[in-house]
Amino acid sequence: MAKLKTSYFCQNCGYQAPKWLGRCPSCGEWNTFVEEVVQKSEPERGRWKPAGPATSPRPRAISEIKYQDQPRLLTPDAELNRVLGGGIVPGSLVLIGGEPGIGKSTLMLQIALSLPGTRVLYVSGEESDQQIKMRAERLGDTSSDCFILTETSTQTIFKQIELFEPDMLVIDSIQTLQSGHIESGAGSVSQVRECTAELMKFAKESGTPVFMIGHITKDGSLAGPKVLEHMVDTVLQFEGDRHMTYRILRTTKNRFGSTSELGIYEMNGTGLRQVSNPSEILISQRDESLSGITIGATLEGNRPLLIEIQSLVSIATYGTPQRSSTGFDAKRLNMLLAVLEKRGGFRLGAQDVFLNIAGGLKVEDPAIDLAVCASIVSSYEDIPVPDSVCFAAEVGLGGEIRAVNRIENRIAEAEKLGFREIWISRYNGKGLDTSQFGITVRTASKLDEVFASLMR
C-alpha cells in the first residue's frame, strides 16, 4: 500500500511546509495554509509516456543541439494571433484566465471549431457534451475535426490522448482536473501543480500546443499557486465587464512574443466578434461638441489606439474635493492637477475632478498626459475642444511637453480616422517629415501654448 504523507500548502503562493504556519514565509500572507494529503506512488503510473524507447537525458553542448524553426499555427482569429506573437507555437502551454462568465470557454470553443484540418481535443470538466454542443450550434459552427471529452481524471485523459493523437488540446478548466498521484481534492494547490506539470511534459515531448482555462480569485489574480504562472509559456488575461459587450484579451507573460499586445472582441449572440479597428469603438459619436472631452493617441504593443478621455470638473460641495479616475492612474491624475495649478494658474484645489477613459480601457501610456490636461481644462473653463483635434505628448512637472516614442504611428492612426489636427511635443517635431501626412501637425513645448490656441 502506498504511503500517505500530510503536508501544508499556502493557498496563495504554493509554499509547502511540514506543519501549519500562521504566516507564509514566502509571500507573507496570514492564515493561508491548508492541510493536504499527498500520496507517494509509482513515478510512472498514469502519467504521460512518450512513444518510443525511453532514454535518459544527458548534458549536451549548445552547439550540438539541432534547432528546426517550426511554423506557427495561424488561426482565423487575427486578434488571438497578435496576442500570441504571431500564431500558436507548437508545444506551447498557454493559460487563459478571466472572471466567471467573461467568455473564456466561448473563445476557446470558437477557436477549436475554426481550425478545419486540425484535430482538436476539447476536454471539459465543467460542462456536459450536450451543453458544449448547444454552445457550438449557437456559434454557428460544428467542425468535424473538433472532439469533445468530458473527463476530470488526468489518467483517463492521457489514455484518450494516446489513442486520439490530437493536434491541439484544450483543457476547461485546470482547476477541475485531478491526478491519481495526489490524494487531495480537485482545485487544491498540489492538484493544480501536479496536473499542470503532467500537461507541460506532454506538450514539450509531443509538440502539441495545450490551452488551459484557469479560474481567478476575487482580487483578480489566477487561482492556485503562483508557480502555475511560472510553469506555463504564455499567460493571457480575458478582461471586461460582463454587462458590456466589449472584451479585451491581454498578454501578461509570453515567451514567444511581446507582453504589450492586446486583442479586442465584441460579445454578441453568435459568439465573440473580432474588432479590427478598435479606435472607432473607443471614440463615441457625438452630435454636438461637449466640454471636457478630448482624444488621445496611445499604443498597446504594436497597435496604435485613439481613445476618448472624459473629464468633469465642478465645485466641491463638501469640505474635501474628490479625485476619481476610471482607467487612469489616480496618482498620475493628482500630479497633473498639481502641474495645472502651479504652472497653468488654474484653481483646481477646491474643485471635484472626475476622469474616465471611455470603453473600459486601462491606460498606462504617459503619451495621453496632454489629452488629460486638455480635457480637465476644457471642463473647468466649459469650452469644448474641437472634435477634429487629438493629442500625443507627455507632460512634465515643469509644465513642459515631452516627446513620446513612435510618433509616426500615432499620427498615421489619427489621419486614418479623419482627424485634421494633432498636437505633439516640439522635440518630436525635430526631424519629422510632416509632408508625408495629410493631417496638420502642431508642436508645442509648454502647456500654455496649447491652451492659448485651443481655449480662445
> Is 101 marked as binding a ligand?
yes
What grid cell was written down for 150?
468530458
8-state DSSP, 88: B
> Is 179 marked as binding a ligand?
no
CA 3 vs CA 37, 60, 153, 183, 319: distances in Å? 10, 37, 21, 11, 67
Cell 506573437, residue? 85
Q: Is residue 216 within 8 Å of residue 173, measured between CB atoms?
A: no
Q: Is residue 90 within 8 Å of residue 73, measured between CB atoms?
A: yes
Instruction: Please give the Cα distance from 138 to 128 (Å, whole number).
Output: 16
> Is 105 marked as binding a ligand?
yes
What grid cell was written down for 210?
495545450
Contact partners, residue 302, CB within 8 Å, separation at least 6: 82, 258, 260, 261
> Is 291 marked as binding a ligand?
no
> Is 104 marked as binding a ligand?
yes
Nearest of 342, 456, 315, 318 to residue 398 by alpha carbon: 342
Nearest of 46, 35, 43 to residue 2 by alpha carbon: 43
Q: How many residues does the chain have?
A: 456
Which stretches does DSSP call E strand in 99-223?
120-124, 146-150, 168-172, 210-214
Q: Is residue 310 within 8 Å of residue 355, measured between CB atoms?
A: yes
> Is 98 marked as binding a ligand?
yes
Q: Within 147-286, where are the H helices?
A: 154-164, 189-206, 227-231, 278-282
Binding-site residues, in ranges, read 98-105
Binding-site residues for ATP, in ranges, read 98-105
